């Protein structure tokens, strides 16, 4: 990647950051005007109505940057990938706004996410290989299509489900994007650098208004858009992180450990209840709240743990995959055990 391209990506990222700051007050008024409001309820922790659909504040500048970069900055193949992603991103944004306004049923949200996964596969953002820490990569072949769909469903829902307290999902996305950006810079992958930098810039600005006490919520509008772009970065288009063998899902899976663990626990919990689509108030952050931790403390704890996983993930691109995989596996086991103990303690209360 040339220095001119890096400078242009930086300028666009700075523009996204500044525009997000400018758009948040307008977004608050927009959400209030069109009644896109998160009302207090038994399964929510906020005690007063809050404007939702906050993701519009950074998603719209990012979509503009994707189109502008694709048309005038990047070479043709990468530029087309950016423009195609912007189209799917706009669709995901529309689904999110509709869900925030009308609180769509979970099954309809699932079908929308499935459609997004199909579109992402056909525009080239697909999982073609899987990292094997102990040998050659697994080439998926015909399995690429179902694995790609599962990947998009998992990441979008993981980000969505962890968005339960002020600043949590947004802050986690900042750390995830920072990790992916570092790996992209190391490998000089323009596609990855641009997407990670854009999403990092937008979420970092929005976090100022979303951290406790939040003035506006991320909403499905923001969480689904974040999940889509993070999943797209992980697949990196037709090149799928060419030259970054450890990047084929192993690094994203590592840095997304907390959201993925929370989602896995939610799936098992809901299966026991007999309805995977039923919402509840038993996520890790809810249990931590019941144990007396504040929203601010919970967010900071999750940020630190996510950063720790992120540093290990970065290590995959510098050191032996076998050693770091074992370190990651050990840390993951400890995290799962800690999550189980937290939830067990919460049930006792």
pLDDT tens digit sequence for 315-340: 776 665 666 667 767 777 777 777 76
Quick one: pLDDT band at residue 242, thresholds 50, 70, 90? very low
Confidence band for 313, pLDDT divided at 50, 70 and 90: confident
Cβ contacts of residue 144 below 8 Å, gap of 6+? 121, 126, 127, 128
What confidence tens digit (pLDDT) does each residue in 185-201 have? 887 888 889 999 999 99
pLDDT at 268 over 50: yes
Helix-strand-coil percent breakdown of the chain, rounded to 5? 75, 0, 25
| pLDDT single digits (tens) 124-141 | 898 888 776 666 777 888
pLDDT of residue 246: 42
CB 170 within 8 A of CB 160: no
Comparing 111-125, 242-256, 285-299, the range with the smallest average pLDDT is 242-256
Mean per-residue pLDDT over the chain, rounded? 86
Q: How confident is the model at residue 206 (pLDDT cuts 50, 70, 90)?
A: very high
Q: Which domain holds residue 127?
A: 3-348
Our count of domains for the chain comes to: 1
Task: Residue 207: name the closest of 1, 102, 321, 58 by CA.
Answer: 58
- Bigger pLDDT: 113 or 281? 113
CB 202 within 8 A of CB 178: no
Confidence of residue 348 (pLDDT cuts 50, 70, 90): low
């Amino acid at each position: 990647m040339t220095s001119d391209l890096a400078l242009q990506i930086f300028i666009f990222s700075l523009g996204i950051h500044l525009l997000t700051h400018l758009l948040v007050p307008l977004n608050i008024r927009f959400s209030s005007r069109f009644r896109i409001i998160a009302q207090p309820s038994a399964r929510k922790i906020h005690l007063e109505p809050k404007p939702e659909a906050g993701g519009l504040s950074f998603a719209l500048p990012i979509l503009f940057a994707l189109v502008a970069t694709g048309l005038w900055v990047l070479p043709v193949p990468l530029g087309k990938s950016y423009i195609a992603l912007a189209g799917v991103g706009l669709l995901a944004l529309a689904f999110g706004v509709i869900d925030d306004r009308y609180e769509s049923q979970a099954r309809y949200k699932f079908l929308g996410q499935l459609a997004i996964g199909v579109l992402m596969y056909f525009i080239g953002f697909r999982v073609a290989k899987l990292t094997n820490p102990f040998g050659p990569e697994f080439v998926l072949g015909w399995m690429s299509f179902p694995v790609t769909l599962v990947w998009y469903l998992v990441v979008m829902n993981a980000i969505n489900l962890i968005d339960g307290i002020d600043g949590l999902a947004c802050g986690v996305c900042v750390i995830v994007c920072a990790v992916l950006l570092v790996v992209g810079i190391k490998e000089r992958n323009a596609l990855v650098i641009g997407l990670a930098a854009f999403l990092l810039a937008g979420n970092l600005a929005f976090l100022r208004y979303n951290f406790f006490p939040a003035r506006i919520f991320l909403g499905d509008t923001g969480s689904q858009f974040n999940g889509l772009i993070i999943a797209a970065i992980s697949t990196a288009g037709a090149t799928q992180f060419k030259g970054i063998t450890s990047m084929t899902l192993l690094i994203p899976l590592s840095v997304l450990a907390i959201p993925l663990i929370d989602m896995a626990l939610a799936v098992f919990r809901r299966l026991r209840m007999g309805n995977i689509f039923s919402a509840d108030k038993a996520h890790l952050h809810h249990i931590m709240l019941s144990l007396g931790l504040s929203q601010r403390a919970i967010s900071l704890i999750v940020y630190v743990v996510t950063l720790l996983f992120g540093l290990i993930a970065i290590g995959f691109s510098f050191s032996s995959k076998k050693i770091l995989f074992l370190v990651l596996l050990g840390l993951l086991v400890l995290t799962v055990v800690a999550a189980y103990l937290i939830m067990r303690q919460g049930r006792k209360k």
